[in-house]
Amino acid sequence: MGLGFMKYVWKNVNNMEENSTENCTRALRVSQLDAQELDNEVIAIIKNQLTKLLKYHKTNILVRYDPEVSAFLKLLVWKVS
């Protein structure tokens, strides 16, 4: 590869970065952390309600399928928000 090709690629990469930052809005890191904390709290509240709902179920299904339930709740919160 020649030096001219590398300059061409570098110029296009810089142009792409400039165009992508012009079209998107940046979210503050604090807002992202607050949103993550809020999502975790909503998941904990829903999981607590499920635990209360299934407390007297003999098979204790929530303990057995805890990773799947957590993944489903995270997907649900992600899809809704």
How many domains does the structure of the chain reveal?
1
* 39 and 32 Cβ atoms separated by less than 8 Å: no
pLDDT at 63: 82
Range of the domain at 9: 3-80
Pairwise pLDDT comparison (72 vs 60), residue with the higher score: 72
Mean pLDDT in residue range 34-55? 91
Residue with the bigger pLDDT between 36 and 3: it is 36
Whole-number CA gyration radius for the chain: 23
Q: Which residues contact 70 (CB under 8 A, 6 or more apart)?
A: 43, 47
What average pLDDT does range 20-47 have in this prediction?
81
pLDDT above 80: residue 71: yes
Please state the pTM of the whole predicted model.
0.60
